[in-house]
Amino acid sequence: MIFGVIVAGGVGKRMGADMPKQFLNLADRPIIMHTLDAFLQCPGLEQIYMGVHPEWVDYMEELVVQYVSKEEQKRVHLVPGGAERNDTIMNVIGQIEADFGTEETHYIITQDGVRPFVTQRLIEDHIRAVVQYKAVDTAIPAVDTIIVSKDGTFISDIPERKYLYQSQTPQSFQMDLLKKLYTGLTLEEKAVLTDACKICTVRGVPVHIVEGEISNMKITTTADYEIACTMAKKWKG
């Protein structure tokens, strides 16, 4: 089976809002509902799981009831998130296993809850790619020169831009592979993880790249939110 997984366990401290940023209003509804709607529109995602901060699960449930039809609500499952992003994904994997077992091969298409402009093309490309490659990232070529600074004051290195990409989500995986790799990591290895794809690269598992889209932005700062509000007025997905 193929599952959509929306990661929304953060509290959005950098936004300085009185609620997690995924619940801030974007056009006619909360940011997270735009992301969920994009996943619900894809028939290839058989079920959709949302990893939500434990203190906001009830609020998220109210949003699902308010914005999602009763028939579509059957596809949506809420799971309390963990302390870190990958903990949330593992919590979701545990719930999927409890609900649907481990007898068959499962795949997960994971998306940041605060990337509301994900397109159907991206989701469908991931569904096809993950079955073939088992681990898949989304990326766009870096358009700016990227510098490395180890002390935050002076440049340590300037890598060749032609080899650099900016990672986005979705990130997709054969579920049992990701779980096996993650549980096999040491505490030191887990401490340096920045996303789920690094779970694979730390263990030398190749990760296929699907071409991303500039519009597939992550809303992290107040400036991002202002840009997203402008985009949402004309967004057609």
**pLDDT tens column, 177-188:** 999 999 999 998
Q: Where are the domains of the chain?
A: 2-179+206-232
* Amino acid 10: pLDDT: 75
Strand ranges inside the chain, DSSP E: 2-8, 25-26, 29-30, 47-52, 76-80, 107-112, 135-141, 165-174, 208-211
Q: Are 4 and 42 in contact (CB under 8 A)?
A: yes
DSSP calls for 58-94 = HHHHHHHHHHS-HHHHTTEEEEE--SSHHHHHHHHHH
Q: Are 181 and 203 in contact (CB under 8 A)?
A: yes
Please report, in tens digits, the pLDDT of each residue of the chain (237 residues total): 999 999 998 766 655 667 889 999 999 899 999 999 999 999 999 999 999 999 999 999 999 999 999 999 999 999 999 988 999 999 999 999 999 999 899 999 999 999 999 999 999 999 999 999 999 999 999 999 999 999 999 999 999 999 999 999 999 999 999 999 999 999 989 888 889 999 999 999 999 999 999 999 999 999 999 999 999 988 766
How far is the CA of 206 from the CAs of 13, 60, 167, 170, 202, in angstroms?
33, 35, 15, 16, 10
What CATH code would you report for 2-179+206-232?
3.90.550.10
The two beta strands, 135-141 and 208-211, are parallel
- Give which of 1, 5, 28, 48 is closest to 171, Cα–Cα: 5
